[in-house]
Amino acid sequence: MSRNLTYKQKAFVNEFIESKNATTAAMKVYAVKNRNVAKSIGAENLSKPAIRESIEILLRSTGYDPQSSVKALIENQDIGVGVKATASDSIRASELLLKMSGKFVEKHQSISMNFNIDSLNNEELHKLKKEYDKLLSEV
């Protein structure tokens, strides 16, 4: 584990490995009761290279290899013998593997706009619609 981590960051890494959930780890380690605050702390911690590196080192020391895990998931999905997993189970497993290896990126984006269009003429409305369509195409 990285020497640059604080005591709580080291505890977060260990708890994350055990729970496989950054929010749960943050709630336990940082004594946070609000899930939104814990989610923010967890996301911030997972964005730090030293913490991600420590998680990866610890996972590898326990024998975890993301490539072989993904390969096994794909083989089980293709073969399907003795596996009673739905597609959502496979997707969730893949998501957990990627999260644990620090390679899962969750993107949330929202745009909120409030304005009065009653005073706009047709030309201004068309210009506004073009800009709106451009914004939507970038998302």
pLDDT per position as a tens digit, 125-135: 888 888 877 77
Return the domain boundaries, the chain: 1-64
Length of the chain: 139
- In this structure, which topology does domain 1-64 adopt according to CATH? Arc Repressor Mutant, subunit A (1.10.10)
Say what the alpha-carbon torsion angle 26, 30, 34, 36 is, to the nearest 10 degrees: -40
DSSP assignment of 34-80: -HHHHHHHHHHHHTSHHHHHHHHHHHHHTT--HHHHHHHHHHHHHH-
Tokens found for residue 115: 């304005």
pLDDT per position as a tens digit, 67-95: 776 677 666 655 555 556 666 776 777 77
Mean pLDDT across the chain: 78
User: Cβ(29)–Cβ(8) under 8 Å?
Assistant: yes
Residue 129 CA: distances (Å) to CA of 5, 52, 115, 116, 126: 49, 42, 13, 14, 5
**Per-residue confidence at 111, pLDDT binned at 50, 70, 90?**
low
